[in-house]
Structure 1
């Protein structure tokens, strides 16, 4: 469970409501497994944060935490989550290369599509450095080359076209477009308002993926 508040006092009020509910139903929150993160607002940051408690125990202040497999950071940068996905891709691709080296090309391509093209939560990446983004792209391209035994410096676009397989940017375009379609089709008023805003980060990410170079959305 995640509580989002505009101020510490609002957060304390919500925590008080949660504690009252837990007490009324014979439950108890584990403060050791709970964390507090304060988002930075541009260059503004408050180093002295009042102590926030849960069930009488103070919450640990952290610069980032993982929620449903996605890294959330105080700077709202997606670099940590992109690195998480790069490492996961490296593990999966190395497993395929090691275990299925003697399989046919068609089998390897099928396995690659199943295990190396998920890019979990990639449609949410809207604030990242080009270095982190390129590292994931290179990891993806090299995984395909090594799995098929292709030369190290062969054309990435050429090898994916020959294998009738989506390249890195094609996957990103599809993921972002899919997210935008679902958000716009949602009956939730908040989601539709966000999707229809001209300055929406999601819309900016979609334009970056389909129209402009990705560095436009990167920081």
Structure 2
């Protein structure tokens, strides 16, 4: 569940309402997994985080969290999400290369660019494998 409010006291009221609803219908909110994120302009980033409580537990403020397969950051940039997707693409490419006995690629996380990884055996030409592009599928 996601709660959005432009003001701190509005968010606290929403959380309190959800907690009361949970008590009424035997729903337990996990206090340790519940997190908050504030989306402030750059000029106000250094202000103190407000205190928001779920019951007697003070909620933690985070700078990024995964939401529906994407990484949301408090600066609203896509850098972390793009980096995660680049790593997944590299891993998938290595799986395909390994299955087809082709040359592998790796991602250099320090530099952030693609580098060719040398393998002792020479990779066969794709025509030697008798694989058409339609037979290579990703996922299941």
Q: Same fold (TM over 0.5)?
A: yes
Residue 157 of structure 1 is matched in structure 2 by none
Structure 1 runs not aligned, ≥5 long: 116-219
The answer to whether the aligner puts 1:106 opposite 2:132 as a matched pair is: yes
Shift of the 25–110 alpha-carbon distance from structure 1 to 2, 3 Å rule, reads same
SS in 2 for 1:43: helix
Give the drift of 1:110.
4.9
Alignment of 1:58-77 (within 5 A): 58-77=58-77
Q: Report the Cα distance in structure 1 between the residues aligned to 2:13 and 2:30, rounded to whole angstroms.
A: 18
Alignment RMSD (CA, Å): 1.9
Structure 2 runs not aligned, ≥5 long: 102-123
Q: Aligned residue pairs: how many?
A: 113
Which is richer in strand? 2
Mark the structure with the bigger radius of gyration: 2
Shift of the 9–80 alpha-carbon distance from structure 1 to 2, 3 Å rule, reads same
Q: Report the Cα distance in structure 2 between the residues aligned to 1:61 and 1:104, rounded to whole angstroms.
A: 54
Residue 85 of structure 1 is matched in structure 2 by 85
Q: Report the Cα distance in structure 2 between the residues aligned to 1:74 and 1:39, rounded to whole angstroms.
A: 5
Q: Report the Cα distance in structure 2 between the residues aligned to 1:78 and 1:72, rounded to whole angstroms.
A: 8
Shift of the 11–104 alpha-carbon distance from structure 1 to 2, 3 Å rule, reads farther
Alignment of 1:15-164 (within 5 A): 15-101=15-101, 103-107=129-133, 110-111=135-136, 114=138
